[in-house]
Structure formats: structure tokens, C-alpha cells
Amino acid sequence: MRKQIVAGNWKMNKTFQEADELINSILEYIKKDENTAEVVICPPSLYLELASDQANDTTLMIGAQNMSCNGFGAFTGEISAPMLASMGIDYCILGHSERRKYFNESHEMLAGKVEMALKHGIAPIFCCGEQLPERESGNHFNVVKEQIEKALFHLPESDFSKIVLAYEPVWAIGTGVTATSGQAQEMHLYIRNLIKDKYGDDVAQETSILYGGSCNAKNARELFSNPDVDGGLIGGASLKAEEFIKIVRAFD
């Protein structure tokens, strides 16, 4: 059975002290109960060591928000997959719409990042999703198809099967406007069928596809009740332990 995952994308938020408190609070909740879903937090890279140390010997998984497509070298300000791997980091968000928009990340660059992550044992949480005009013009399926095909479909099955996908309609990210349960399920099924056509039904059935975009404690249960929605990538609502844990509990 495929994994259900709730991953928190903290983006560029929290001071060191606040990050410390948030990780501790999340761990308090996680230690109390058995969670149905795997719980991942993706703090700013500066706090990855802190998170990784605190999460040691717990079920909490740690992810980075970005990494370079290069291994080592003269790339001032960058962090690389071998660095993340050497710190025991489990996941890396790749292809987030904010990185595509503000840092001009192309399909080709993302293909390189995905390969680099996999080579070093880091599982990509690969984001895809359309902008509002693309949905309004009925082009949303083509946009998502292109993002997935160009960055991921060159991978052999053994590599593709390590990837977690996150469908994040750009118009829903940080806006308070969530995709309807029907819109989410429709796109997730479409993505699963793309995977099925390329890698076969077994791989498609095993691939976790998360929903992201203004998911919160109020709407998570309905979104996650869809057969093809395997959890969430959570931005704003992952910044408060209580709210984030309510989302994790939406599976129970």
C-alpha cells in the first residue's frame, strides 16, 4: 500500500528559537500517538541540522526545501544533495512554484536536481501545478503533464518509484482558496494515469501524490478522503504545531 504523507513546507519562516520550539512541539504530539501518515517537516536549510538532531530516534522525517543540481564546487550560496545526504536528510522539495517563479527553475534544471537527489538517496517531493489562467482556459492537464514528463519521465522505473508527487495548483498556494475535493481528485487521478501509461499500474498504485494549496485543519479530512489524494504538502498551516498535527490526524 502506498504511503500517506503529511509534509510541512516552512518556506522562509521562523527564527532559530521559534524553529526549535516548533520542532519540539511537533515531536511532543508525534510521540504521543501512532500516526497513520508519515510526517515530514521541511524547515529552512539553516535549521536542518537542528531538526535532524531533534528528530533522531523518532518517526519524524526531515526534508530540505531546495538543493542544487550540482554536487560540489563554486556555487556560492547553494547547498547540494551530498551535503543533505551527509546530514541524514530524507526528502527535498523540488519544483515548487515559488522556485519556478522567483528563481526561474526550468524543466531541464529540475530534471537535473531530481537526478542528483536520487543519486544521493534523497527522495524528491516533486511539485507540479497550473496557474489560474491555465485552469481557466482548460489547459491545466497539459501544463501538469508537461511538468511531469519533462522533469521526471526520463527516469528509469527504479528511480521514479522513489519520488513523491505533490499537486499544487498555484492559484491555491497561500491564497486561502483551496481546490475543491473534486478538482483535487480529478487531477490526482489524471497524474496517476500518466504514471500508469509510462511505468505501469504497479508503479502508479505505489506512488504517493500529495495535495498542496491552502490545505488546513478544516479541509484536510475531506481532501484526504479522496482515493487518489495520499496526503498533503502544507505551507502556512504547518507553522503552528497544533494546526499541523490536526492535519496529520485527518487520516485517523
Give the catalytic positions in this structure: 96, 168
Least CB distance from residue 233 to ligand PEP, whole Å? 5
Least CB distance from residue 213 to ligand PEP, whole Å? 5
Please identify, using beta-carbon distances, which residue of 43 and 236 lies nearer to ligand PEP. Answer: 236
Please identify, using beta-carbon distances, which residue of 54 and 214 lies nearer to ligand PEP. Answer: 214
Residue carrying the nine cell digits 521541511: 42
Around 50, how many Cα atoms within 13 Å sit in the side-chain half-sphere?
17
Least CB distance from residue 249 to ligand PEP, whole Å? 17
Please identify, using beta-carbon distances, which residue of 70 and 181 lies nearer to ligand PEP. Answer: 181
Q: CA 225 to CA 171: how far, in whole Å?
A: 22
Q: CA 131 to CA 139: how far, in whole Å?
A: 10
Taking alpha carbons only, the member of 129, 9, 103, 119 closest to residue 63 is 9
Number of H helices, E strands in the chain: 12, 8
Please identify, using beta-carbon distances, which residue of 96 and 192 lies nearer to ligand PEP. Answer: 96
Please identify, using beta-carbon distances, which residue of 123 and 204 lies nearer to ligand PEP. Answer: 123
**Cβ pair 94, 117 in contact under 8 A:** yes
Amino acid at residue number 17: Q
Cα–Cα distances in angstroms (integers) from residue 74 to residues 68, 188, 242, in the given order: 11, 39, 41
Least CB distance from residue 10 to ligand PEP, whole Å? 10
Least CB distance from residue 97 to ligand PEP, whole Å? 8
Q: CA 48 to CA 54: how far, in whole Å?
A: 10
Which stretches of the chain bind ligand PEP, using CB under 6 A? Answer: 9, 168, 173-174, 212-215, 233-237
Report which DSSP code applies to 135: H
Length of the chain: 252
Nearest residue by C-beta to ligand PEP? 235
